[in-house]
Amino acid sequence: MTLAEKIYEYSSESMEKSLDEKTVTEIKKRIVDSIFVSYGARKAEPVQLAIKSLLPSSGKIKSRLYFYNKKASADISTFINGCMTRYLDYNDTYLSKEALHPSDNIPPLIAVGEGLDLKGEDLIKSIFVAYQVVGALSDAVSIRDRGWDHVTYISISSAAGLASLTGLDKNKFIHTLNLGINNNISLRQTRAGELSMWKGCTAANASRNSVFAYMLSSHGFTGPGPIFEGEMGFFKQVSGEFDLDFSNNRVLKTMIKNHPVEYHAMSAVDAAMKIKNRLKDPTSEIKRIDIDTFTVAWKIIAKDPEKYRPKTRETADHSMPYIIAYTLVYGEPTPASYSDNFLNDKKIISLIDKMTINVDKEFDKMYPEYLPVRIKVYTDKNEYMEEVIVPKGHFKAPYEWEDLKNKGLKLMKDEERVNGIILAGKDIEKISIKEFLDVVNDVKA
């Protein structure tokens, strides 16, 4: 059995059986969370540029943009909605050999599901499939150090989710994978050095291509295979050989973000907040800052020189030095914490220049099950130390609905609308995807 066949068999079985109540509830939370963070990014420059560049749009399967009540071809709405979902770096996270954002799979499933007038119950099951596939890939092998970006895995999982959502037969399912993967291998340069707008939009592009692949394969268009095992296939060109283990529930190990920062800095925010609350004037008092983290965090958000002088919001929310310095000076980060006035803030820069970031080998042993960080701040009179192992929203300290409501209020600032989206999310298996979007789009842009 090829790997594509194995993905098909698992996906088909998952769509036919009932999910347990806890898994369904957690999927609902992630749907709602993806909408809240999308609202926060609805007016972000890349989203506006995408709307300006790609609309008007029409296609055989049409679906709405979040909040705008504008319709577009499903692949275009997937890209624009996906940019909203991902751009603030505020959507959920899965940590393993590869770190990624499983809810990047949600916009394409909503887009195609609305366009075909499918049920919320089908959406939940297809999201489960996509989360399981992308989590299994993340657990199997890291492609980051080979120079490939993790959104390459999103192209696989979103293709599997779409084929499952729409009930494609085995042949068409496999060709959805073939077409979704072959021309959708993403370079890790997206996350190297100074980061561009593409950092927050490349996952949206991966899932957009999966929608395009689905639209072709659903009518019998074929793609190159075997896509994994072939002479020039995924194993030989991208990842090396691996197998997928679907025995674990990956949904329950995904984590909802409590702050709009790259997830490996989540504990650092919590630790820095505790220290800030013990200081009267951090800028003048602090003489030295020592930070202990683990290797993956250092590689992704600390090692590059650009992380110590970020020039873009995309670099800043992926900069441990910036995030810690901002938190020590101003408190909890928000989506507005990466504007130009903060990037050039002398108080933040002065604290960055007082930092030393080290890799703790004991912390390496704890990751990815835990997210450890230790921050020591030295003043003339005192030494302050805080260590955080599990941040709020981690699967060991999971978000409840009330936590999600508070996050929604921070972004939408309208309790009635936040409650409306939460209620629709809680009942999504009883309504259609179109009816869910009716509630979402009652929130004006």
Q: What is the pLDDT of residue 69?
A: 82
DSSP for 297-338, written as a single string: HHHHHTSSGGGGS--SHHHHTT-HHHHHHHHHHH-S--GGGG
Return the sign of the alpha-carbon dihedral for residues 227, 230, 232, 235.
positive
**Nearest of 161, 125, 154, 158 to residue 138 by alpha carbon:** 154
Topology of domain 3-257+407-440 in CATH is 2-methylcitrate dehydratase PrpD (1.10.4100)
Q: Enumerate the domain spans of the chain.
A: 3-257+407-440, 263-388
Contact assessment for residue 271 and residue 388, using Cβ atoms and an 8 Å cutoff: yes
Superfamily for domain range 263-388: 2-methylcitrate dehydratase PrpD (3.30.1330.120)
pLDDT-flagged residues of the chain (< 50): none
Long-range CB contacts (< 8 A, 24+ apart) of 54-57?
A: 54/79, 54/80
Query: What are the backbone angles phi and psi of residue 396, rounded to the nearest 5°?
Result: -90, -10
In this structure, what token pair is assigned to residue 239? Answer: 């990842």
Q: What is the pLDDT of residue 444?
A: 63
**Nearest of 134, 188, 207 to residue 300 by alpha carbon:** 188
Q: What is the pLDDT of residue 131?
A: 98
In this structure, what token pair is assigned to residue 301? Answer: 């958000």
Element (H, E) at 373: strand 373-378
**Residue 390 DSSP one-character state:** S
Report the C-alpha gap between 391 and 333 in whole angstroms.
15
Q: What is the pLDDT of residue 445?
A: 59
Tell me the sheet residues that pair with 119: 432
Q: Would strands 373-378 and 288-293 be described as parallel, antiparallel, or unpaired?
A: antiparallel
CA distance readout (Å), 62 to 6, 57, 108, 123: 31, 9, 12, 17
DSSP for 58-107, written as a single string: --SSEEEPTTT--EEEHHHHHHHHHHHHHHTS-S-BB-SSS-B-GGGGHH
Determine how many CB atoms are found less than 10 A away from the CB of residue 414.
15
